[in-house]
Amino acid sequence: MGVARLDADDAYRDGGFGAVPATSEAIAGLREARLDDEAMIREEECAVCMEDFEAGDKLRAMPCSHCFHERCIFDWLRVSGICPLCRHRLPTEQS
Ligand SMILES: [Zn+2]
Ligand SMILES: [Zn+2]
């Protein structure tokens, strides 16, 4: 029970009940990034799953230029349209 409560708090910490998914257009429009594109990738690991980026991983860059695994950030943005690192907000269904 304690764990479930913590997860809910975590998901909704940005403004009470305000976890709003990003629009599918905003998600699909994220730039693809490549690990060898050092000008683009400042992080060494994905802040969603906390695993290091590895050659061949599909990555996507947010407008704030934070990068994540494509599958991780897509899953994240379908729950909450904010960057996990800096809270940059993507267009959401309710905005
Ligand atoms: Zn990841
Ligand atoms: Zn960010």
Reduce the secondary structure of 4-64 to three states and give it as a string. Answer: HHHHHHHHCCCCCCCCCCECHHHHHCCEEECCCCCCCCCCCECCCCCCECCCCCCEEECCC
What's the total number of domains in the chain? 1
Q: How high is the pLDDT of residue 43? A: 86
pLDDT tens, residue by residue, 62-85: 999 999 999 999 999 999 999 999
**Distance from the alpha carbon of residue 2 to the mean position of ligand 1, in angstroms:** 25
Which ligand has the nearest atom to the CA of 84?
2
Ligand 2 centroid, distance to 2 Cα (angstroms): 29
What is the model's pLDDT at position 6? 47
pLDDT at 42: 83
* pLDDT tens sequence across 14-57: 555 568 999 999 999 999 998 887 777 888 899 999 999 999 99
The CATH number of the domain holding residue 62 is: 3.30.40.10
Cα 1 to ligand 2 centroid, rounded to whole Å = 31
Q: Report which bound ligand comes closest to the CA of 71.
A: 1
pLDDT the model gives residue 37: 76
Determine, yes or no, domain membership for 42: yes
Label residue 4 by pLDDT band (50, 70, 90).
very low
Domain that holds residue 58: 18-95
Q: Is residue 3 part of a domain?
A: no
- Residue 35's nearest CA partner among 60, 15, 1 is 60
| Ligand lying closest to the C-alpha of residue 67 | 2
Dist. CA 63 → ligand 2 center (Å): 7
CA of 19 to the centre of ligand 1 (A): 20
